[in-house]
């Protein structure tokens, strides 16, 4: 075997390994997500929308029944300028078509730094599967 053919053989083998690794990674990403994984991602995304001030996108994640009784303008008035800094779903437990989500939330106090910095708290959310889409069902 010549040096050139040895180099080509090695290059082909490395290429084959790289392609195989990419195919395996691609197959792994095609695994269906659990309801807990889906709801965790959606809850985190919703809070990111609220933090960024994109209230419309957060509103679109609400259940249809909540949106029927709460116009966008009212929701925006309640949710705008919430002072949220950071939020993260820290636990998700699903049963059938309902998931309970615990959110860790950091916010600026409404009256400024008078109270010694940011407020760290937790809150519970309820998410339901509605027409194939996980949506948050706020408490009235």
**Rounded to whole angstroms, how far apart are CA atoms 11 and 5?**
10
Direct distance between the N- and C-terminal alpha carbons of the chain, in angstroms, rounded to an integer: 78
**pLDDT band, very low/low/confident/very high, at 10 (cuts 50, 70, 90):** low
Can you give the pTM of this predicted structure?
0.75
**pLDDT band, very low/low/confident/very high, at 53 (cuts 50, 70, 90):** very high
**Residue for token pair 């889906």:** 38
pLDDT (tens digit per residue) in 70-116? 999 999 999 987 889 999 999 999 999 999 999 999 998 877 666 67
**Rounded to whole angstroms, how far apart are CA atoms 50 and 31?**
30
Percentage of the chain beyond pLDDT 90 is 64
Q: What average pLDDT does range 107-131 have in this prediction?
A: 86
């Amino acid at each position: 075997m010549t040096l050139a053919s040895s180099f080509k053989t090695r290059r082909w083998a490395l290429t084959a390994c790289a392609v195989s690794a990419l195919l395996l990674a691609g197959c792994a990403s095609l695994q269906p997500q659990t309801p807990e994984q889906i709801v965790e991602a959606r809850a985190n995304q919703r809070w990111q929308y609220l933090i960024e001030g994109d209230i419309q996108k957060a509103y679109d994640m609400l259940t249809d029944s909540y949106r029927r009784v709460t116009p966008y303008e009212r929701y925006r008035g309640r949710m705008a300028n919430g002072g949220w800094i950071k939020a993260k779903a820290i636990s998700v437990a699903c049963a059938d078509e309902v998931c309970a989500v615990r959110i860790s939330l950091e916010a600026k106090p409404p009256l400024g730094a008078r109270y010694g910095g940011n407020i760290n708290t937790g809150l519970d959310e309820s998410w339901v599967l509605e027409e194939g889409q996980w949506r948050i069902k706020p408490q009235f």
